[in-house]
Amino acid sequence: MEHVRYVIIAATASQDEDAPTIGTDQTLQDMSIAAQADPTYVHLHDCIISGFPTNQHNLHASSLLYQKLQEGLSTNGNLVFCIARVLVPAALHCHTLARLHKSHRGVEATKRQARQTTFWSGIDSGIASTVAACEPCQVLHPSQQQDPLHNDNQPSRPFESVPVDFFQVAGKSFLVVADCISSWPVVVPCKDDTIASSTIWHLGATLSAV
């Protein structure tokens, strides 16, 4: 029973050191009550004790998902275990996902934590959905982080540093050259000639005239 208590506590505990401690007896009681109130959980529990039926048509669809794991399944009281992992009743899935995710460690780290203590069919997709729906996690995700800003060297005189770009009006192309110090723009008509060699020529002519 002490081992069962440890697994239950670990399954519902957070990695956050500041999180409140869950009472052992209350946790066991809540898990047991939820298991007893779940007909599919009770059916699986009974199959483990009496043996899975040889005819799969006599097996509930929810229990069919766990039949291939039957060698590692066991019971303790009202609860089902797969080796050292507790099968969480459906009513506590959201609560368990919230506790697992409380430290915001990302999908893979949360999956690794869950694989030590908890399981149910679809837990991995539940973890992925929970993380995907978490705004702080998306902001901190490496692929969402903004690249650091790089400041260009400050120019010492007008038109020493100039950003350039093309724009079109009425089917005609124009080159715009702006001064980084004053933001003063110079617009150069280019007609339809925007190839590299022509752009270099227009830039040279423009900068030599200012």
Could you tell me the residue ranges of all domains in the chain?
A: 2-144, 164-209
Rounded CA separation 187/109 (Å): 54
From the centroid of its chain, how far is CA 138?
7
pLDDT for the residue 93: 93
CB 137 within 8 A of CB 131: yes
Band of residue 35 on the pLDDT scale cut at 50, 70, 90: very high
Tens-place pLDDT, residues 50-77: 888 877 777 777 777 788 888 889 998 8
Residue 22, pLDDT above cutoff 80 = no
Band of residue 6 on the pLDDT scale cut at 50, 70, 90: low
Mean pLDDT of the 17-31 span = 59
Output phi, psi for 97, to 5 deg: -60, -40
pLDDT for the residue 141: 64
Rounded CA separation 3/79 (Å): 13
List CB contacts of 109: < 8 A, sequence separation 6 or more: none
pLDDT for the residue 10: 58
pLDDT for the residue 41: 93
Rounded CA separation 17/5 (Å): 19
